[in-house]
Amino acid sequence: MSKGPVVIEVTRGPVVESRHEGIAAVVRPDGTVVASWGDIDTPILPRSANKPIQAMPFVESGAVEKFGLGNEHVSLACASHNGESRHVETVRAWLKKIGLSETDLECGTHPPRLQATIEALVREGALPTPAFNNCSGKHSGFLSTAVTYGEPTKGYIKYDHPVQRRLREVMTDLCGTDANAFPYGIDGCGIPTLATPVRHLARAMATMADPSRLSSKRAEAANRIRAAISAEPFMMAGTGRFCTRINGALPGVAQVKTGAEGVFCGMLPTLELGIALKIWDGAGRAAEVAMATLLGHLGVLPAAQKDELLHPPVKNVVGLLVGEMRPAKSWLG
Amino acid sequence: MSKGPVVIEVTRGPVVESRHEGIAAVVRPDGTVVASWGDIDTPILPRSANKPIQAMPFVESGAVEKFGLGNEHVSLACASHNGESRHVETVRAWLKKIGLSETDLECGTHPPRLQATIEALVREGALPTPAFNNCSGKHSGFLSTAVTYGEPTKGYIKYDHPVQRRLREVMTDLCGTDANAFPYGIDGCGIPTLATPVRHLARAMATMADPSRLSSKRAEAANRIRAAISAEPFMMAGTGRFCTRINGALPGVAQVKTGAEGVFCGMLPTLELGIALKIWDGAGRAAEVAMATLLGHLGVLPAAQKDELLHPPVKNVVGLLVGEMRPAKSWLG
Please check whether residue A321 touches B, CB under 8 A.
Answer: no
pLDDT at position A292, please? 98
Q: Which of B14, B18, B262 lies at the smallest CB-CB distance from A261?
A: B18
pLDDT at position A118, please? 87
Each residue's pLDDT tens digit, B130-180: 999 999 999 999 999 999 999 999 999 999 999 999 999 999 999 999 999
Q: Parallel, antiparallel, or unpaired for β B2-3 and B33-37?
A: parallel
Please check whether residue B261 touches A, CB under 8 A.
Answer: yes
A216 is a domain residue: yes
Residue B305 has pLDDT above 90, yes or no: no
Q: Which of A18, A45, A323 lies at the smallest CB-CB distance from B12?
A: A45
B123 is a domain residue: yes
Task: Tell me the chain A residues in contact with residue B322 when contact means C-beta distances shorter than 8 Å.
Answer: 185-187
B325 is a domain residue: yes
In this prediction, residues B299-305 reach a mean pLDDT of 92
Q: Which of B20, B133, B322 lies at the smallest CB-CB distance from A186?
A: B322
DSSP symbol at A214: S
Please check whether residue B284 touches A, CB under 8 A.
Answer: no
Each residue's pLDDT tens digit, A59-108: 999 999 999 999 999 999 999 999 999 999 999 999 999 999 999 999 99
Task: Tell me the chain A residues in contact with residue B121 when contact means C-beta distances shorter than 8 Å.
Answer: none
Whether A186 and A45 have beta carbons less than 8 Å apart is answered as: no
Please check whether residue B248 touches A, CB under 8 A.
Answer: no
Whether A171 and A203 have beta carbons less than 8 Å apart is answered as: no
B141 is a domain residue: yes
Instruction: Share the mean pLDDT of chain A.
Output: 97
Q: Please state which of the ranges A203-217, A280-294, A296-310 shows the lowest mean pLDDT.
A: A296-310
Q: Parallel, antiparallel, or unpaired for β B2-3 and B192-194?
A: unpaired
B171 is a domain residue: yes
SS (H, E, C) chain B: CEECCEEEEEEECCEEEEEEEEEEEEECCCCCEEEEECCCCCEECCHHHHHHHHCHHHHHCCHHHHCCCCHHHHHHHCCCCCCCHHHHHHHHHHHHHCCCCHHHCCCCCCCCCCHHHHHHHHHHCCCCCHHHCCCHHHHHHHHHHHHHCCCCCCCCCCCCCHHHHHHHHHHHHHHCCCHHHCCEEECCCCCEEECEEHHHHHHHHHHHHCHHHCCHHHHHHHHHHHHHHHHCCCCCCCCCCHHHHHHHHCCCCCEEEEECCCEEEEEECCCCEEEEEEECCCCHHHHHHHHHHHHHHCCCCCHHHHHHHHCCEEECCCCCEEEEEEECCCCCC
Please check whether residue A128 touches B, CB under 8 A.
Answer: no
A108 is a domain residue: yes
Percent of chain A with pLDDT over 70: 99
A1 is a domain residue: no
Q: Answer whether A281 sits within 8 Å of B107, measured CB to CB.
A: no
Task: Tell me the chain B residues in contact with residue A109 when contact means C-beta distances shorter than 8 Å.
Answer: 317
Write down the ipTM of this complex. Answer: 0.96
pLDDT at position B171, please? 98
Task: Tell me the chain B residues in contact with residue A123 when contact means C-beta distances shorter than 8 Å.
Answer: 122-123
Whether A214 and A202 have beta carbons less than 8 Å apart is answered as: no
Task: Tell me the chain A residues in contact with residue B155 when contact means C-beta distances shorter than 8 Å.
Answer: none
d(CA A197, CA A43): 4
In this prediction, residues B20-46 reach a mean pLDDT of 98
pLDDT at position B2, please? 59
Instruction: Share the mean pLDDT of chain B.
Output: 97
Each residue's pLDDT tens digit, B69-109: 999 999 999 999 999 999 999 999 999 999 999 999 999 99
Helix or strand holding residue A12 (H, E): strand A6-12
Q: Which of A17, A20, A124, A322 to mutate to test binding with chain B, by most B CBs within 10 Å of its CB?
A: A17
Range of the domain at B193: 6-332
Q: Considering only residues 25 to 64 of chain A, which have any Cβ-Cβ distance to chain B shorter than 8 Å?
A: 43-45
In this prediction, residues A305-330 reach a mean pLDDT of 95
pLDDT at position B3, please? 83
Whether A156 and A106 have beta carbons less than 8 Å apart is answered as: yes
Task: Tell me the chain B residues in contact with residue A18 when contact means C-beta distances shorter than 8 Å.
Answer: 261-262, 280-282
Q: Give the chain A residue whose CA is nearest to the CA of B325.
A: A281
Q: Considering only residues 87 to 116 of chain B, which have any Cβ-Cβ distance to chain A shorter than 8 Å?
A: 107-111, 115
Please check whether residue B193 touches A, CB under 8 A.
Answer: yes
Q: Give the chain A residue whose CA is nearest to the CA of B46.
A: A17
Residue B1 has pLDDT above 70, yes or no: no
- Which DSSP string corresponds to A129-182? -GGGSTTHHHHHHHHHHHHHTT---TTTTSTTSHHHHHHHHHHHHHHTS-GGGS
Each residue's pLDDT tens digit, A170-223: 999 999 999 999 999 999 999 999 999 999 999 999 999 999 999 999 999 999
Task: Tell me the chain A residues in contact with residue B196 when contact means C-beta distances shorter than 8 Å.
Answer: none
A64 is a domain residue: yes
- Which DSSP string corresponds to A118-132? HHHHHHHT----GGG
Each residue's pLDDT tens digit, A21-61: 999 999 999 999 999 999 999 999 999 999 999 999 999 99
Each residue's pLDDT tens digit, B178-219: 999 999 999 999 999 999 999 999 999 999 999 999 999 999
Please check whether residue A145 touches B, CB under 8 A.
Answer: no
Q: Which of A115, A136, A315, A318 to mutate to test binding with chain B, by most B CBs within 10 Å of its CB?
A: A318
pLDDT at position A180, please? 98
pLDDT at position A2, please? 59
d(CA A47, CA A186): 9
State which amino acid sits at residue B41: D
Residue A148 has pLDDT above 70, yes or no: yes
Q: Which of A18, A111, A115 lies at the smallest CB-CB distance from B262?
A: A18
Task: Tell me the chain A residues in contact with residue B15 when contact means C-beta distances shorter than 8 Å.
Answer: 43, 45, 183-185, 195
Total number of domains in chain A = 1
Each residue's pLDDT tens digit, B261-272: 999 999 999 999
Q: Answer whether B317 sits within 8 Å of A119, measured CB to CB.
A: no
Q: Which of A133, A283, A320 lies at the smallest CB-CB distance from B186?
A: A320
Please report, for the domain that includes residue A22, its CATH number: 3.40.710
Q: Answer whether A316 sits within 8 Å of B281, measured CB to CB.
A: no
A-B CB pairs within 8 A amount to 140
